[in-house]
């Protein structure tokens, strides 16, 4: 059987990605700062963590709706993505599979992609660190996946994680605190607010070192 034609479910263009200059500015910001400065927005499931502590991700989202227990659509996504894109993957709640490993990290790195954020398991933890392609995942699992050509998936359609909707082209920022999503249309505004928040916090820390208290600075008495 030939299976489903994947090109009918891959949206390669027709949406805006967050601008490259905004991505570069966002690289200097923490996920927590962006979340707070944007009005407590965009938190991905907190179980999703960097596979290695030094991993950090920042770039426009390429969204992947993957069938449960199957990773064929992730292979399609690696080929469909542009350099710098971050794959954001929904696995239909089937967390306990190793959807990603050394070979796929190597393929994504070779194509210049920005990272992977997956609400599911990955494997080859030590090797993922050696490859150096940023991977954020719900956990570690060796259980293999299928590659069913008849299984239905999508690339670059909106994804729902709890109450959070992720659209293709949104800004993805991830570090040791977690992953935050900023709507593409708000990226400039939120990055500017985040930069100001960082400057304000530096000034607050200087005041604390000079002897003031958080109760006084924040008017909490």
| Separation of alpha carbons 21 and 54, rounded Å | 23
The annotated binding site is made up of: 101-104, 123-124
Mean pLDDT of the chain: 94
Question: Is 101:74 a contact under the CB 8 Å cutoff?
Answer: no
Low-confidence ranges of the chain (pLDDT < 70): 1-4, 6, 8
Q: Where are the domains of the chain?
A: 20-218
| Separation of alpha carbons 91 and 162, rounded Å | 13
Q: In sequence order, which residues have a C-beta less than 8 Å from that of residue 130 and are 6 or more positions away?
A: none
Per the listing, tokens 């927590």 go with 32
The annotated binding site for Mg(2+) is made up of: 124
The annotated binding site for substrate is made up of: 101-104, 123
pLDDT at 1: 44
pLDDT at 221: 86
Quick one: which of 151, 147, 146, 145 has its CA closest to 4? 151
Q: Where are the alpha helices (DSSP H) in the chain?
A: 20-26, 31-37, 72-80, 102-110, 125-131, 187-209, 214-217
Tell me which fold the domain 20-218 belongs to.
Answer: Glucose Oxidase; domain 1 (3.50.30)
| Separation of alpha carbons 169 and 153, rounded Å | 18
């Amino acid at each position: 059987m030939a299976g489903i034609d994947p090109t009918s479910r891959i949206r390669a263009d027709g949406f805006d990605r967050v601008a490259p200059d905004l991505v570069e500015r966002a690289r200097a910001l923490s996920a927590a700062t962006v979340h707070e400065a944007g009005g407590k927005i965009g938190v991905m499931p907190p179980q999703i963590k960097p596979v290695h502590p030094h991993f950090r991700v920042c770039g426009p989202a390429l969204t992947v709706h993957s069938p449960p227990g199957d990773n064929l659509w992730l292979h399609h996504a690696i080929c469909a993505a542009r350099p710098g894109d971050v794959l954001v993957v929904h696995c239909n709640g089937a967390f306990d599979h190793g959807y990603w490993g050394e070979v796929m990290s190597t393929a994504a790195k070779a194509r210049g992609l920005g990272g992977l954020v997956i609400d599911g398991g990955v494997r080859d933890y030590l090797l993922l660190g050696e490859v150096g392609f940023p991977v954020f995942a719900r956990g570690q699992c060796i259980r293999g996946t299928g590659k069913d050509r008849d299984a239905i998936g999508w690339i670059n359609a909106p994804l729902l994680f709890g109450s959070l909707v992720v659209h293709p082209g949104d800004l993805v920022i991830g570090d040791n605190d977690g992953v935050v999503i900023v709507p593409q249309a708000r990226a400039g505004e939120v990055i500017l607010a985040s930069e100001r928040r960082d400057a304000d916090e530096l000034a607050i820390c200087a005041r604390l070192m000079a002897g003031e208290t958080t109760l006084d600075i924040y008017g909490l008495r």
